[in-house]
Amino acid sequence: MNDQAMWESLLHNLQNHLEILPDKPEETPENTLRALWLMAAGQPVSAEKAAQMALPKLNDEQAGHLQNLVQKRLSGVPLAHLTGRQQFMGVELLAGPQALVPRKETELLGFGALNLLKELAQFRPLPLTVMDICTGAGNLAVALTVHFPEVKMFAADLAPEAVALAQENVEFHGLQEKVRVEAGDLLQPFDAPEFRGAVDLLLCNPPYISSAKVKTMPEEISRHEPDLAFDGGPFGIKILGRLLKEAPDYLKSGGWLGFEVGLGQGEPMKKRLEKNPHFSDIRTASDAQGNIRALFAQRV
């Protein structure tokens, strides 16, 4: 089978059988096949980067590898686990089962944070001190540092395997002098006087799915991605509650807290922030459907 015939056959298979999750809209059948094709050729890239690249010719061994990759994808293995790559905020990252695959929806938090850094930089000395809690693969910490290098970035995650992947991403982009990654529960790794009242921007993409719903998620998620990255307790806001309680101690006056929320949590969390005496100037970021998916609040 020549390359064109193989492309058409595999694309037809993906178009008929691939389930595309709403939170990974970039993984169209075409982009998926392009990414797997390049992976088979020894060029691991994300679906978004693959869409911009020319496809090489495959030898017989590579063609067999490609067909195996397509079957694994159709069986539910996440594309980013097969390629080891995911793009976030335009930055190519390493990905794998060690941590949640970075999602498009989290870019609302990321770009909102980037705008705040630019805002703060107009009247604060550089570098700015930033914390990224529940860092996962390190996508927020790394992407923000790539886009805004004038930061001292401190990232943490409870899962040692996620911390290891985040550190790999730091090294992948040569950011070892700017980004420090620690293992620990929420803000615990930075429970030291040097961090109290010293942070310009504190970010968190916490687990926010209720415990009962975690196992009802699509199999691509529930079978292949870590429960720890999703389970937010009985009501999905266990970590958020702790964050709102602990964050004020770390933020400078005029510093910002930013975090992602699940569907339906935006308005209640906004009201909760409005009643919190530690914060003012509450801002929101909404998705294309008008759902609040990220909140920002300024420390009084």
Residue pLDDT, tens place only, 235-277:
557 889 999 999 999 999 999 999 999 989 999 999 999 999 9
Structural domain contains residue 110: yes
Residue 211 pLDDT: 67
| Boundary of a domain, candidates 31, 51, 83 | 83
pLDDT digits (tens, 9 = 90+) for 76-119: 999 999 999 999 999 999 999 999 999 999 999 999 999 999 99
Total structural domains in the chain? 2
CATH code (residue 69): 1.10.8
187 with 250: CB under 8 angstroms?
yes
Residues 214, 69 share a domain: no
- Pairwise pLDDT comparison (68 vs 221), residue with the higher score: 68
Q: Which domain holds residue 26?
A: 3-83
Residue 231 pLDDT: 67
Residues 130, 42 share a domain: no
Residues 289, 180 share a domain: yes
**pLDDT of 282 strictly over 70:** yes
Structural domain contains residue 215: yes
Residues ≥6 apart with Cβ < 8 Å to 187: 131, 133, 156, 246, 247, 250
Mean pLDDT over the full length of the chain: 94
255 with 200: CB under 8 angstroms?
yes
Residue 210 pLDDT: 65
CATH code (residue 199): 3.40.50.150
Structural domain contains residue 24: yes
Mean pLDDT of 44-69: 97
- H/E run at residue 220: helix 219-222
Structural domain contains residue 97: no
What does the block give as tokens for 16? Answer: 């008929």
What does the block give as tokens for 46? Answer: 């994300």
Nearest to 168 by CA among 128, 146, 139: 139
281 with 274: CB under 8 angstroms?
no
Residue 14 — very low, low, confident or very high, per pLDDT cuts 50/70/90?
Answer: very high
Residues 197, 115 share a domain: yes
pLDDT digits (tens, 9 = 90+) for 183-230: 999 999 999 999 999 999 999 998 766 666 766 778 787 777 777 666
Torsion sign, CA atoms 81, 90, 28, 64: negative
Structural domain contains residue 95: no
Pairing status of strand 151-157 against strand 128-133: parallel
Share of the chain above pLDDT 90, in %: 86
Torsion sign, CA atoms 102, 107, 113, 119: positive
What does the block give as tokens for 18? Answer: 């691939």
Residues 125, 45 share a domain: no
Residues 170, 36 share a domain: no
Structural domain contains residue 88: no
Share of the chain above pLDDT 70, in %: 94
Residues 170, 50 share a domain: no
